[in-house]
Structure 1
Amino acid sequence: RNPGRFNLQRQEAIIGNARASDYYVAAVYREKASGARSDRPELLRMIEDLQPGEVVIAEKIDRISRLPLLEAERLVDAIKAKGARLAVPGIVDLSELAEASSGVAKVVLQGVQDMLLRVALQIARDDFEDRRERQRQGIDLAK
């Protein structure tokens, strides 16, 4: 098995789904650094390149960040500050519904969207820490 081939197939499927949903794919950024780092060159380049109204599509939330929650939120805020939004398959996206709403409904929908994203970011961090701890335990057992 060639894991790289499967990753490429998943990326191509995501790009195909985006195009099928009438999105224009402006660029594809392939990061090699860990999501637990904030100084990832491709991520920083992507944020720099963002234009208002664009959508960042990530395969999974941990492809965007495995950082502690506050740092992950700063990263998402940097995307939002460019006038863009984040879309991750598997995370409910209420942004269009929120934009079409007003008053209390808009505030509630935006709040729920932010909460879902925060929960997903925290789960990604917790998973990273759990894996790191199990790896450390495995290394200790092997000594």
Structure 2
Amino acid sequence: MSYVHAYLRASTEEQDANRARKSLEDFAAANNTRIAGWYVEQESGAKLARPELFRLLDNTQPGDVLLLEQIDRLSRLNAEDWDKLRGLITAKGVRIVSLDMPTSHTFLTVADEFTARMMGAINGMMLDMLAAIARKDYTDRRRRQAEGIVKAKAAGRYKPRTVDLNKQGAIISMLRDGKSYGTIEKALGVSRATIAKASKVMRTEE
């Protein structure tokens, strides 16, 4: 029996890694399948070292499915790191199904070996192409941000972000008390990205 493992990721600059949960639940229901496990993390897709992603892969067996909203949730990696991750996924025999890659959806239903191999070849090409596009989007965005900072500095308008240490301390205290992100948002008037950053600081201190 194969299982479906859902992976949700957002970078620390984004709002909420759980944002796409309902979309994946609806997709699974529409395809008469059940999600066996959820793996959620707040990390950059440009980093290969992502604990939840590797925990997911450790928990898979050949034939299992890694379910995503978009390929860029899995990778914004450079070519070398993408090859490493892709090789690991292939070696595990895990099939990637992504909502933004319709050809991959057949992995939930295909039974005969010939069709599975044909779709595997097609999906492999699509996967590499979308991963390359995701990386280009990442590098283009970083370049535009750097250019914007240079222009703002030249015009005397650049104000680097500062951390409110008192607020960060309050967030960490509430996290240690077991308070949810939603509760902290309402109590302190902060964004999920700010809470995620404080959570990261808290983990480094432990």
Query: Same fold judged by TM-score > 0.5?
Result: yes
Determine the C-alpha separation between the residues in 2 that align with 1:57 and 1:109. Answer: 16
Alignment correspondent of 1:78: 88
Most deviating of 35-44 and 10-19 = 10-19
Larger radius of gyration: 2
Matches within 5 A, 1:1-143: 3-4=15-16, 8-91=18-101, 92-93=103-104, 96=107, 100=112, 102=114, 109-143=119-153
Q: Give the fraction of aligned pairs with identical amino acids, expressed as a percent.
A: 33
1:22 CA drift (Å): 2.2
Per-residue deviation at 1:21?
1.5
On the 8 A contact 1:76/1:86 being kept in 2, the answer is no
Counterpart contact for 1:51–1:84, Cα < 8 Å: yes
Unaligned runs of 5+ in 2: 1-14, 154-206
CA drift at 1:116: 0.8
CA distance in 1, matches of 2:118, 2:63: 22
From the two aligned structures, give the one with the greater strand fraction.
Answer: 2
Larger mean CA deviation between 48-57 and 124-133 belongs to 48-57
RMSD of equivalent CA atoms: 2.4
Compared CA separation, residues 60 and 109, structure 1 to 2 (3 A): closer
For residues 150 and 119 of structure 2, the distance between their equivalents in structure 1, rounded to whole angstroms, comes to: 47
TM-score (norm. length: structure 1)? 0.81
- Partners of 1:37 and 1:123 in 2: CA distance: 16
